Amino acid sequence: MENNNLDGRIRKNINIGDVVELVQKHHQQTGELTEGIVKRILTKAPKHPHGIKVMTDIGEVGRVKYVIIE
């Protein structure tokens, strides 16, 4: 993780339209990251130990590891 990226376990770090790196359910074993743009934030809690669950603009669902800051 680069220092300028935000932690995906904290909901307030994530906004609609952000570019994020997330782990989809079927990639949990490998930890493979997928990049996407946040369309919806699905987790209601302010924090989640495995990452806030989001839906991307192309319909992928996963838990955010990092919010990419450009």
CATH of the domain at 27: 2.30.30
C-alpha–C-alpha distance, residues 36 and 22, integer Å:
8
Number of independent structural domains in the chain: 1
Domain membership flag for residue 15: yes
Domain hosting 49: range is 6-67
- For 10-23, the pLDDT digits (tens) are 999 999 999 999 99
Task: With beta carbons less than 8 A apart as the criterion, state whether 51 and 38 touch.
Answer: no
Q: What is the mean pLDDT of each run of 10 residues along the chain (70 residues)?
A: 83 97 96 97 97 98 95
67 bridge partner residues = 6, 20
Asked if residue 1 belongs to a domain, the reply is: no
Q: In the prediction, which pLDDT does 2 show?
A: 52
Report the DSSP beta bridge partners of residue 53: 63
pLDDT for res 70 = 78
Q: What's the pTM value of the predicted model, to 2 decimals? A: 0.92
Taking the C-alpha atoms of residue 64 and residue 43, their distance in angstroms, rounded to an integer, is: 11
- Look at residue 4 in the predicted model and tell me its pLDDT: 82
